[in-house]
Structure 1
Amino acid sequence: MPRLPRLLASVAALLIAPASALAAPPTNVEVFPNVRHEVGGVSELDRSVFFAAHTTPVSPDWNGEEDKLDYFAKKLRGHFGRDTGQISGTLNRAKQDPKRPGYADPKHIEALAKQDATSYRKMSKTRQRYLSGSDMIIGAQLHPFWPGDKATRHTNWKLSTTDTADEPFGTATGEFMGLYFRNFHKPKGHRPPPAWIEVVNEPLYELSSHGDVDPDQVFHFHNVVADQIRKYYPGVPVGGYTMAFDLFDHDDFGRWDKRFKSFIDITGDNMDFYSVHFYDFPGISRGKVRLRRGSNLEASFDLIDHYSTLKLGQPKPYLISEYGSQVHDWYHQPWSPYRDWLCVKAFNTMVMQFMERPDLVLKALAFTPPKAEWGRNSETVPYYWRLLRRANEGDGNTANDQEGPWVFSEQIKFWELWSDVRGTKVLIHSDQPDVQTQAYLSSRNLFVALNNLSDDDTQRVRLNLKHAAPPESVSLKLLYLKGETPQLDEESLDAIPDRVVLPPNATAILHIRLPERVEPEHTASESKTFADVYLQPIQGKKAITFNIDGVELGEQGTATLRLGIGRDHGNELTPTRIKVNGKSVRVPKQFRGDDTQADRKRFFGLLEVPVPYSVLQENNKVQLAFPETNGHVSSAALRVVTHSAPLE
């Protein structure tokens, strides 16, 4: 069957690409359906991990919207993930123990649990089934769970601030949470047990960034609360510290030392996972762009993983209980499809980075609650992150914005785009860092995902499908910005197109239907090994040495040296030279996504350096140098993908 060049024309009709972009060399993407790609031993795509929304199926937001709930869960294969409202509402209603000031009354907690069970049993069986089939996160909000801070809303008392050897600070909080889970989350007739428990939501943002509480006090609080939860409700993983907006490289990594590093030092093995939130800032302070996605997110992950390996012996899994975009420059405005687009493009980019580490990501929740009327700013300004909106919003008449039926916002397009993707992760490679790739195989169905990290440039992708017969059919979904509105196009094709055109920030998913079932016959096994030291200061022209030992190798494969780099603007962002086991390797200049991070206070990103597989040994010596003194190399690791057979 002839290959089709017509997709370029069809997309060009939708978008006038810059001439410079169309003149640029195409990106080459190779897909190997016959090679299973295992990362830390994991190769199967778990949709409940990567395609979940920040909501629960029993949320009141879905009342009267069951048709939309079914569309999300059944048609789009969307999942659910987090509830911080139920436990917080319960504490706000709980009575104080008359014999123990600052503690919730255990008998009243039991009574509230019985009332909740009665209400829960009255819910539709469908919604109960959705909840029972969900791996849910339950976490506490800062208020009123932080001891002595704010009184409970309905019963007007505060949690105990006592801090002694027998009753350390946070004991009352932990006891309440443990009793809540023991009474509210039972196998029969009650809400199902959670999969994970977060100690408290984003505590440092208010207590430390905008308050005077020492972060170490918050981290010791985590230990106490976790111990109390396990005392009353053992067996469910507990973690924290539910990080919000922490920028590790601030103050030349002083922020890292005082916060996440200190959290690891204090909580150590007492946390079962790290709970983190990641957000892009696509517009802040009147037009400044500060993005997490791309190399900054990779550098953040590697810094945490590297130090965890040195301190604890191995990386700890992640619960990404919120991710998306903060939309500061669009605050105090009515709903707009463009503001939704800012969230959707962050969802697509970040989820593909999370999918690179399926062995460590427990769950990742796109932050988009359903109606979120609890967060409404005014009659004409709703909460900024919503999966549902009023049909009248955006019609130009803000007077009727709270009228009309509820409909999906543009953010539903994230799930509509990814709805069919499933199967076994197979090997795929892009020669352009700004083109992200993922590929999955399910019987005869091959799904290829491509994302353009660039905010400015159009990417032309030339797809090369290896070891597969010509497909029976090909369909394409393309999500991009058309004017001010996210546009999701779907097209049926006769063959794999010669070129897939990706406008800026666009995501494409090809569903390639093969003529017969394919079983991967080879394996690509990926591992990551960190150096013996981390966070090394950069001194001009002086070599920094990393020893990366214990690398497992096979006969053939690929390797990448991953270097986290944090420097002030005006300095060289890449080393002038790199040697691996005495052999010089080429130093690339391009980072994933934003290469300069000009609107951040300084640059912090991860450089990915290809290393010939033949150069590697079990124990490796890496040496590198920069021309001037400034900043740090925050992490160093070798990512090795060993192939069970040569790639042809």
Structure 2
Amino acid sequence: MQPWTNKSAKMKTGAHSRFFIMIYGVLLSILSHVDGIATETAPSNTLIILDTSLIRSTGGISQFDRRKYITLHTDVTENDWNSPQSASMMDTVFRDLDIYFGRNNGGMVWWANQLPEDPQRPGYIQPLAISEQGQIARLNYASDLRNRFDARADTMIGGQPQVMWPELKANWDWAGATAVGEYMARYVNKFYRPFSDSTVSSGAPAPRFIEIMNEPLYSLCDDPLPGLSKRVTPLDVFEYHRDAAKAFKFINTNTQIGGFTVAFPEFDLQNFDRWDQRMKLFMDTAGAEMDFFSLHFYDFNHHWAAPDRGYVHFKGSRLEATLDMVETYSHQLWGQVKPLVISEYGGRDHTTERDTWSPQRDWVFMKALTPMLMTFMDRPDRIEKTIPFIVTSFDWAGDPPYPWRLLRFSNEPESLSGDRVFTEMIKFYELWKEVKGTRLDTYSTNPDVKADAYTFGKKAWLILSNLSLEKQPVFINIQNSGESTSAEITEIQIRHLHAVNRIPQLTIEQDTQISEFMLDPEAAAVIELTYSRELNPTHQSETIKYYSDQIKQSIQESKASVFTFSNVDINQAVEAVLDLSFGRAHPFSKHPVVTFNGNILNVPHQFAGDDLQSGRSSFFGQLNIPFPVSILQATNTVSIQFPDSGGFVSSVCMRVTSSDQVPVRPDQVRNIRIYPEQASLGVNQQRQLTASLSPENARDIRVNWSSSDPSIVSVDRLGQITGQAIGSATITVTSVESNHSVKSSIQVIAERVPVLADTVLVEPSKLEMIRGETAVLSASILPIDTDNRSITWSSQNPQVATVDSTGKIVAVADGSTQITATATGGAWGVCEITSQTRIPGSITFDDKSKYLQTIYKVGSTLPVTCSFRATTGRKVDEKGLKFWLRELRSNWSVVKDRVVYDPSTADKNTGIASASISLKDLTPSTALPAGNFYYLWVTFTEDNGTQITQGAAASPITIVSDE
């Protein structure tokens, strides 16, 4: 940390702050060339502006709601809180750190298997039994230690596929979704007290939300649970949600019901087929019955399916694009945005999740929390609840215990013994301690550094989060633009949550001056400012989000995608931002030409968070494009044009801020570039010139185009030039705001100058095929105004793969070849083709007879080894091979499973797999119910979702008592 004195913290707005911004501008003046156009690089220093006189409201909400944001994945009924040992920890969690309860997915599910079937209505739970057990539960709660923090309850509960889905319930089966919905409604009505009753003796407070089922598609479609007699489709699940919600609402109209609890909302997969086949289909099928939509978000520090098992992140622009797509379609269907609930979010790491506890692993899980939370906080009018996936202890989950937990044993990782202590996860809540109050206006010059602020009484809290893997030097400039005299800062506390040698540290420093602060990689900080008196912001801004009438438009070369915004309130508008979201294959351009009501906008090149997303199969993100409010109208048209084909513009949204106070921004245009700087063209020929302004966050990006001699070269207001007569002229583009200008020299000759292709992009650039398969390649030509855009396709080795004039290829034999797309003039691009004969996936025991003849003892282990081969062109998915020891009835219905994975086989096509299945606490074979037996089975799922289940099965397995 390099301290410096910021006297503006005690000064009125004026010359000093303007000088500060001017000097800071010098730090941002380095330019580089991207896509052939001059653009500003990511700033080496970040300027954060905090205006303590300006309240920031979004959709009518300006207060920090800790019930919504500072939560724990538990509820007041959980047994972890019902012991004298946990009393002091509850005080720390709920009183000192001001945390609220979040979610419980266990109680309702457990009771579904305990309560009896209604003899009058097969497949339904008996209502009287629900009432009787619910009354007992409410009475027990009235005498529990847990009810001390009854006021902390603002929770959701939910179902689980392994109990709530027909065929998977123990003892007897549901009559269908209606029976499940009815049970859920009666459970809430009878196991909890009504919302109108605040008396603890009446039972635990009713949940505000209920999710029909937790991550159903993963458990029923992607990696199906054992016991299903037929394939379950997403449509089956969505119709189930619709019918269950209808039944629930018939009995209970107080608790909000929703779904479908998306495990991996990767809408861009398979060129957005995942969106069409899942989230969109759900909203079309069941959305009208949903009170909210629930999603889960995780950053993977290491992901088995990623290249080099590396980073796969959501935080930043991908998260923004994902949320905007759901909101836009919701608005399109119902004319309003249905609320969202983020019922799980955080971090994961496939390489450590099955290990014993370590502080390093806690950091991997918790570093994603603050950046994601700050994104959710930007949508206070649309997101109803956010719950980080941090449970209490989950001791019952096995050894090693559940990774994402708040409590551990003091002797871990050596042994599961000792006193209860907090894991490193507690530091996330310590970072956010006391943050509350009214939201203040903040601004960051760097998309990779998020900023937010709140004030209550004499305190203000400035929150910062670093989305990047690099350190970020941060300058903090505090303004008080609306008061004649400013309150003085008397004390500053800086809480910095970062990693030292990969171990999370919450560093706390005290100061009396604002400093140049070094924000560590993926770190977060809360800067607590104590003032000499209460802050009383005198101005208020209101941000309204507008949704276009269109969604998911295909990107086609040289063809604009058009989006419209209607009924926009421009009264007192002081700031406007266009949120452009799109998904494309990695090689394609991420820098479109965007016009707003005919005005070309200055499109930034930097995305928030991971710009490359190289760990994913394609890019999906959002560009935030500021533009001058002077071009804003009640009805607006946005045109978006990319230079190449492929992918989709998923959504375009617009945020308009109105205020009686213009916010402080470092927004003056400081430089301008033109491309090309010189060109030749013929008489009557047209070319497009492009201007790029810096900084990219400049608020007023209007420019004027002019020609030194319009009789030679004319130019229109969008920079399109036309050769009028032989000769030369200079085209000048000038910033309206700063008067900066730059010139391009244009030569006009008698004959037209050919515009030749210099780049050909083939999509995809690499393709693995099975012999006999067909595929269609696409080719994009740059520049976009190339005269002859025809393509000639050819195959380096037609004996391996052929290609026709449309780019359709056929794999005809095993081998490798290149498919080449050649443009007129010689520019070319290729696709690498590998063709193989399809061999189906298989699994083979090393010696099946060994498992049938060996007698295993309870308490020992059953070591299993097998060879495997995935289908040609496929790999084992991220979990690896799955080893089952299953207890079956004589009719082959499932009693229970014991499952172990071999993660070393993940992402492999062939190899040897092994695992040891624990036989602890199993029932000896001779003591099983008549007809029951043990069945040894090995399966795996391929990376395309195909289940390989044949070839490695043995029964009966003999298990005897260890006595």
Give the TM-score normalised by the residue count of structure 2: 0.62
Counterpart of 1:191? 204
Q: After TM superposition, list the pairs within 5 Å mapping 1:294-443 onto structure 2.
A: 294-376=316-398, 378=399, 381-394=400-413, 398=414, 401-443=415-457
Deviation at 1:438, TM superposition (A): 0.6
Counterpart of 1:15? none
Indicate the larger mover: 105-114 or 564-573: 105-114
User: 2-side partners of 1:522 and 1:87: how far apart?
Assistant: 48
Q: Summarize deviations over 1:259-283 as a string: whole Å, max 9, x none.
A: 1111111123311111111111121
Secondary structure of 1:329's counterpart equals coil
Change in Cα spacing, 1:546 to 1:391, as seen in structure 2 (3 Å) is same
Look at both structures and tell me which one has the larger radius of gyration over its CA atoms: 2
Counterpart residue identity of residue 448, structure 2: D
Change in Cα spacing, 1:416 to 1:41, as seen in structure 2 (3 Å) is same
User: 2-side partners of 1:139 and 1:352: how far apart?
Assistant: 25
Secondary structure of 1:284's counterpart equals coil
User: 2-side partners of 1:591 and 1:24: how far apart?
Assistant: 13
Q: Summarize deviations over 1:466-519 as a string: whole Å, max 9, x none.
A: 01443111111011000121000111101111x111010111111111222221
Deviation at 1:408, TM superposition (A): 0.3
User: 1-side partners of 2:151 and 2:247: how far apart?
Assistant: 25
User: 2-side partners of 1:118 and 1:308: how far apart?
Assistant: 42
Change in Cα spacing, 1:614 to 1:241, as seen in structure 2 (3 Å) is same
Deviation at 1:66, TM superposition (A): 1.4
Q: Summarize deviations over 1:101-130 as a string: whole Å, max 9, x none.
A: 211122222222232223222202xx2142
CA contact (8 A) 1:449 1:507 kept: yes
Q: RMSD in angstroms over aligned alpha carbons? A: 1.8
Counterpart residue identity of residue 510, structure 1: I
Deviation at 1:80, TM superposition (A): 0.8
Q: Which residue, out of 630, 645, 655, partners 1:629?
A: 645
CA contact (8 A) 2:576 2:626 kept: yes
CA contact (8 A) 1:219 1:263 kept: yes
Deviation at 1:248, TM superposition (A): 0.5
Q: Which residue, out of 118, 140, 143, partners 2:139?
A: 118
User: 1-side partners of 2:621 and 2:43: how far apart?
Assistant: 25
User: 1-side partners of 2:588 and 2:253: how far apart?
Assistant: 51
Q: Summarize deviations over 1:435-490 as a string: whole Å, max 9, x none.
A: 001100112211100111002x1111111100144311111101100012100011
Secondary structure of 2:396's counterpart equals helix
Deviation at 1:24, TM superposition (A): 6.0
Q: After TM superposition, list the pairs within 5 Å mapping 1:150-161 onto structure 2.
A: 150-151=169-170, 156-160=171-175
Deviation at 1:554, TM superposition (A): 2.7
Deviation at 1:132, TM superposition (A): 4.1
What is the aligned length? 607
CA contact (8 A) 2:100 2:152 kept: no
User: 2-side partners of 1:606 and 1:624: how far apart?
Assistant: 13
Counterpart of 2:9? none
Structure 1 unmatched runs, 5+ = 8-19, 161-168
Deviation at 1:33, TM superposition (A): 1.0
User: 2-side partners of 1:492 and 1:413: how far apart?
Assistant: 18
CA contact (8 A) 1:434 1:592 kept: yes
Counterpart residue identity of residue 409, structure 1: T
Check if 1:179 corresponds to 2:197.
no
User: 2-side partners of 1:515 and 1:132: how far apart?
Assistant: 33
Secondary structure of 1:610's counterpart equals strand
Deviation at 1:312, TM superposition (A): 1.0
User: 2-side partners of 1:265 and 1:129: how far apart?
Assistant: 43
Q: Which has the higher strand share?
A: 2
Structure 2 unmatched runs, 5+ = 7-29, 31-41, 225-230, 481-485, 665-963
CA contact (8 A) 1:548 1:620 kept: yes
Indicate the larger mover: 187-196 or 234-243: 187-196
Secondary structure of 2:163's counterpart equals helix
Q: Summarize deviations over 1:610-635 as a string: whole Å, max 9, x none.
A: 11121211111111211110000000
User: 2-side partners of 1:337 and 1:647: how far apart?
Assistant: 42
User: 2-side partners of 1:392 and 1:459: how far apart?
Assistant: 37
User: 1-side partners of 2:118 and 2:356: how far apart?
Assistant: 45
CA contact (8 A) 1:556 1:645 kept: no
User: 2-side partners of 1:224 and 1:129: how far apart?
Assistant: 38
Check if 1:103 corresponds to 2:103.
no
Secondary structure of 1:509's counterpart equals strand
Check if 1:466 corresponds to 2:479.
yes
Q: Summarize deviations over 1:189-231 as a string: whole Å, max 9, x none.
A: 2222111111111111111222431212211211211122222
Q: After TM superposition, list the pairs within 5 Å mapping 1:242-257 onto structure 2.
A: 242-257=261-276
Counterpart of 2:256? 237
Check if 1:89 corresponds to 2:110.
yes
Secondary structure of 1:424's counterpart equals strand
Q: Which residue, out of 452, 468, 473, partners 1:454?
A: 468
Check if 1:489 corresponds to 2:507.
yes
User: 1-side partners of 2:105 and 2:44: how far apart?
Assistant: 48
Deviation at 1:556, TM superposition (A): 4.1
CA contact (8 A) 1:58 1:131 kept: no
CA contact (8 A) 2:462 2:527 kept: yes
User: 2-side partners of 1:432 and 1:439: how far apart?
Assistant: 16
Counterpart residue identity of residue 51, structure 2: F
User: 1-side partners of 2:148 and 2:550: how far apart?
Assistant: 48
Q: Which has the higher helix share?
A: 1
Deviation at 1:185, TM superposition (A): 1.4
Counterpart of 1:600? 616
Indicate the larger mover: 577-586 or 426-435: 577-586
CA contact (8 A) 1:54 1:82 kept: yes
Check if 1:503 corresponds to 2:494.
no
Secondary structure of 1:414's counterpart equals helix
User: 2-side partners of 1:374 and 1:291: how far apart?
Assistant: 30
User: 2-side partners of 1:58 and 1:106: how far apart?
Assistant: 22
Q: Summarize deviations over 1:57-98 as a string: whole Å, max 9, x none.
A: 331122321111110101111111111111111111111122
CA contact (8 A) 1:268 1:312 kept: no
Identity among equivalent positions (%) equals 36
Change in Cα spacing, 1:448 to 1:132, as seen in structure 2 (3 Å) is closer
User: 1-side partners of 2:138 and 2:509: how far apart?
Assistant: 48
User: 2-side partners of 1:247 and 1:374: how far apart?
Assistant: 31
CA contact (8 A) 2:64 2:437 kept: yes
Q: After TM superposition, list the pairs within 5 Å mapping 1:125-140 onto structure 2.
A: 127-140=146-159
User: 1-side partners of 2:620 and 2:566: how far apart?
Assistant: 26
User: 1-side partners of 2:438 and 2:568: how far apart?
Assistant: 25
Deviation at 1:149, TM superposition (A): 2.1
Secondary structure of 2:147's counterpart equals helix
Counterpart of 1:616? 632
Secondary structure of 2:180's counterpart equals helix
Counterpart residue identity of residue 441, structure 1: T
User: 1-side partners of 2:43 and 2:321: how far apart?
Assistant: 28
Check if 1:71 corresponds to 2:92.
yes
User: 1-side partners of 2:139 and 2:442: how far apart?
Assistant: 51
Deviation at 1:328, TM superposition (A): 1.1
User: 1-side partners of 2:544 and 2:648: how far apart?
Assistant: 25
Check if 1:588 corresponds to 2:604.
yes
CA contact (8 A) 2:438 2:454 kept: yes
Counterpart residue identity of residue 436, structure 1: K
Indicate the larger mover: 467-476 or 410-419: 467-476
User: 2-side partners of 1:248 and 1:385: how far apart?
Assistant: 26
Deviation at 1:310, TM superposition (A): 0.9
Secondary structure of 1:65's counterpart equals helix
